[in-house]
Structure 1
Amino acid sequence: MFSKSVLALALVAAAVPALSAPSGRGPAASPAPVRPAAAPTAPAQPAAPVYSLSVLRDMARAGHPSLAAAQALVEAGSAQVTAAAAYPNPEVEFLAGRTQARVPGVTGGGAQTLNVQQRIDNPWQREARIAAAGYGLEARRAERSGFENDLLARLDQRFFDVLRRIAESRAAREDLQLAEQIRAKVAVRVSTGEAPRYELIKADTELLNAQKSAESAELRVAQSRAALRALVGPALPADFQLEGSLSGTPAVPGFEQLRAEVLARNPELLRNQAEVRRAERQLALERLRRQPDVAVKMAQDRDHELRDTRMGVVVTVPIWDRRQGPVAEAGALLERSRSELAAQELVLIQALEGAYRQYEIARNQVTALETGILREAEAALKVAEAAYRFGERGILDYLDAQRVFRAARNELIAARHELQLAVIDIERLRATHLKESGQ
């Protein structure tokens, strides 16, 4: 093998022209450099706009249709409050006709009757009715906040999913470049007889796998970018760039503090609490409606000879209808609202505990990969590369060390992504984005 290497080097040296030792004394005059023709400069392409996560959140708040639909429900709840505060309208009745004399001495002619009736709004019923509508409005506002909170959480997940796919694509391109370099080196060693043919076959296989991984990573990047753009809306251009990193993770407080914040700020829980209070006021209203309704009535009759004016009170006596059905229905709905509130509290606490445990697991994985596993894999790769360069190890050992390093690096990218998802889930439960927007 050594004689083959010497022979190959001799052939390469003989093929190189002697440029450094020209004939004659003195240094050879260097030829004037040939300046290439100036190529036409292409117009500069505008740089793709860069968007941060906060900017994307503002864009989603401004143009997402689900938030517009939720805002319409809030406006409908406000209209219900206005309707509950309205006073009853008066009832006016006017009759006109003629009177005919049937006995002597009575004069016939035109006759008119005017009745005006105004129902008096019970102040206790009015207060309960307005309170029930007000708590209904609070429930619609909390529902709208819940829509926004879920939307921003899904937006954050799509944002960090794009960052993950970009990191994976960048790593895949680096692996492809390294595979191309290895293949070129192996081809030289095989051509000179320093390495067997199967090493070139193995290098070609690794190069094909690296090309396939790079193409798949690029497709996943395009897919994740499309999902993010569909969530934000058409205001986000197709050629956007993102400003952010997977490595940065916000601080998360302790579990007890998170539990208190979730119970105090979660929009789903606030909606259930408002529904309970609305059901309580509705039950009180149905019970108050058992009381008699009072109305003031004025009547006036006019004919050819007389004008008769009367005033009085109209009272609806609740004898046959004691509103047993509406009261029982309102009581059942109240019990249902209370049960849903208790169930929602249980679901939220369980979800918070699961998200917090997932956060701790992902954080430990990231710490272990960053401080130990990835460094050791990188050190082992350098040792294997040096051993392969000096002929102490074969190509299989070098490729195995590369696979271990790539697996640790990709696992770190996935662990950082899982850590971001756990933090997003915690922020969704504690409604951090709503706190930042001042709601």
Structure 2
Amino acid sequence: MTTTKLTLIASLSLMALAAAPAQAGAQGGTSAKATDGATSAARALLSKPAAAPMPGAAILAAAAVPKPASASSADAPAGPAYSLPHLLDLAQSTNKGVAAAEANVDAASAAISSARAYPNPQVEVMYGRLSGKQPGVSSGNAPSYAVVQKLDYPHQRGLREAMATRGLESSQAVRRGFRADLAARVKTAYFDVLRRESELHAAEEDLAMMRQIHSRARLRVEVGEAPRYELIKAETELLASQKSQQTAELRVNQVKAALRQQVGGAMPGQYSLAGALGQSPDVPPLPVLRDTMTAGNAELVQRRMELERAQLGVDYQKSLRWPEVAVRAATDRQPDNNVSQIGLILTIPLWDRRSGPVGEATAQATQARSALEAREFELTQELESAYRQYEINQAQVTALESGIVREAESALGVAESAYRFGERGILDYLDAQRVLRGARNELIAAQYDLQLAAIQIEKLMSTAPGATAAPGLQPTSNIEQK
């Protein structure tokens, strides 16, 4: 709606400017003196030196044109401010996936108790009646009682306990990997919000500057010092800047909703963030990162535990070839005597030598080993790629901050002075402003990509949740926001 209104206003302004020469000719010499007075006053205004560039709110306060309706939402109360450690703590305490991972660890811990348990005894109770058919043979009840206790080999029980322990360690590694992945997603959303807010701030500065350019171009056209196409160009650029500002504001709201989704329902609808996008982490050398990842990556730890569990499974299946032994004690109560017995029950593996389960367990162990080696190679390549990307982004940030953005600012100042004194047209002025806008947006994008590369490295290290950086990834410098 705001863009439509501004387009209509611009069209009406162009129609009024087109009708101005006819009206001036009709008035004749009566308006010549008034025109000369207006021209002198306008030239006096244009000859004044331009004020120094004012960042942010100062430029917005100096703008003469009212803000669009879409800017009213930016002035609303921002709500509580959240730092990155606070967001990580909220995510770890409210995310339902963390609770599911904890339940998985509890189940694996209970499996150890199951592996340590001894087999339960079996009790047999049978009732019958003895009837004598010969004279002198007693008749009466003849109950029978028996107890069977299966004997458990200590070696087999130890293998079961070791397998359950490896399962617990694997579940703990899965939990740690989920926490690291959640922390990476929260950090990515956090820096995405900071990126979009920086883009919004830059778009607001561009809009304020375009309002000044438009006002100056309109004044130059009115006094006849510039052709009318300069005003048309300025109005077009003003509408484009206003559209960019509105788009940037909508993107801020979108990424804030995404961050709230990652953290959970504990965050209010309106909030702000504490931090800066230009905070650059210091990443250790690649060999140190490679050793740290190989030893501590959660996925690799999980796969190692699964491999050890599969190898123990092979030994356990082979141990089941041993004869199963059970102790049986029984007593038969007859009317005239009692019979008590005790003995052993052996299950002889004569036909089933468990070749199938042993082969299956061996294949699973081979599969686990191959998967571990393949994943270790993939993660090593991912680490090298993330590290090279970090170096590229760091070089881009340094080049943009120290050279390109400053040169673009200087070029804009020169173009502004040349335009003010009539040495250059508005196209040169707008081109210089467009170059500065592009360089500033490239700096914001490079800073965001630098944070993403550092986050990817932290994720590969399986950094403990709640920390702002992986071991050795400490923030060392603040890159100035342009």
Q: CA deviation at 1:434?
A: 4.7
Q: 1:431 deviation in Å?
A: 1.5
Residue identity opposite 1:48 in structure 2: G
Contact 2:400-2:443 at 8 Å conserved across structures: yes
Tell me the residue number matched to 1:306: 337
Q: Aligned to 1:59, which of 90, 94, 113?
A: 90
**Aligned length in residues:** 406
Amino acid at match of 2:174: E
Per-residue Cα deviation, 1:176-219 (whole angstroms, up to 9, x for no partner): 11111111111111111121111100100010000000010011
Offset of residue 153 of structure 1: 0.5
Distance 2:133 2:209 in 1: 120
C-alpha contact 1:139 1:272 (8 A) present in aligned 2:
yes
Other-structure match for 2:173: 142
Name the counterpart of 2:280: 249
Match of 1:359 in 2: 390
Deviation track 1:49-72 (CA, whole Å, cap 9, x = no partner) reads 010111111111011111111222
What CA distance in whole angstroms lies between the structure 2 residues aligned with 1:7 and 1:303? 135
Preserved CA contact (<8 Å) 1:377 1:401: yes
User: Residue 443 of structure 2 aligns with which residue?
Assistant: 412
Residue 97 of structure 1 and its aligned partner are, at CA, apart by 1.3
The one-letter code sitting in structure 1 at the alignment partner of 2:426 is I
Aligned to 1:421: 452
Q: TM-score, normalised to structure 1's length?
A: 0.89
Q: Please give the root-mean-square deviation of Cα atoms over the aligned residues, in Å.
A: 2.0
Among candidates 396, 402, 408, match of residue 433 of structure 2: 402
Amino acid paired to 2:218: A
Hey, what's the Cα distance between the residues in 1 that align with 2:464 and 2:149? 50
Take 1:400 and 1:342, find their aligned partners in 2: how far apart are those partners? 54
Residue of structure 2 in register with 1:77 after alignment: 108
- Matched residue, 1:19: none
Q: CA deviation at 1:121?
A: 0.9
User: Judging changes above 3 Å, is the alpha-carbon distance between structure 1 residues 71 and 103 closer, same or farther for their aligned structure 2 residues?
Assistant: same
Contact 2:151 2:325 in 1 (8 A): yes
> 1:148-193 deviations in whole A, cap 9, x for unaligned?
1111111111000000000000100110111111111111111111
Q: In 1, distance between residues paired with 2:249 and 2:236?
A: 20
* Corresponding residue for residue 197 of structure 1: 228
Q: Give runs of aligned pairs for residues 217-296 of structure 1, distance below 5 A.
A: 217-296=248-327
Measure, in 1, the Cα distance between the counterparts of 2:414 and 2:304. 63
Contact 1:115 1:298 in 2 (8 A): yes
Change (3 A) 1:228 1:186: same
Counterparts in 2 of 1:46 and 1:186: CA distance versus 1, 3 Å: closer
Partners of 2:373 and 2:183 lie apart in 1 by 26
- Structure 2 residues not aligned, in runs of 5+: 1-31, 45-75, 469-482
| Residues 55-134 of structure 1 aligned to structure 2 (within 5 Å) | 55-134=86-165
C-alpha spacing 1:10/1:396, structure 2 compared with 1 (3 Å): closer
Asked if 2 retains the 8 angstrom alpha-carbon contact of 1:381 and 1:401, the reply is yes
After superposition, what is the alpha-carbon deviation per residue over 1:304-347, rounded to whole angstroms, capped at 9, x for unaligned? 11111111111111111111111111000000100110011011
Alignment-mate amino acid for residue 441 of structure 2: N
Against the structure 1 CA distance between its residues 9 and 116, is the aligned structure 2 distance closer, same or farther, given a 3 Å change threshold?
same
Matched, 1:213 2:244: yes
Name 2:25's counterpart in structure 1: none
Structure 2 CA distance for aligned equivalents of residues 301 and 263 of structure 1: 66
In 1, the alpha carbon distance for the partners of 2:156 and 2:287 equals: 42
Tell whether the 8 Å contact from 2:142 to 2:332 is kept in structure 1 after alignment. Answer: yes
* Alignment correspondent of 2:421: 390
Q: Contact 2:88/2:466 (CA < 8 Å) preserved in 1?
A: no
Quote the residue 1:342 is aligned against. 373
Percent same amino acid among aligned pairs? Answer: 51
Contact 2:85 2:466 (C-alpha < 8 Å) held by counterparts: no
Structure 1 SS opposite 2:269: coil
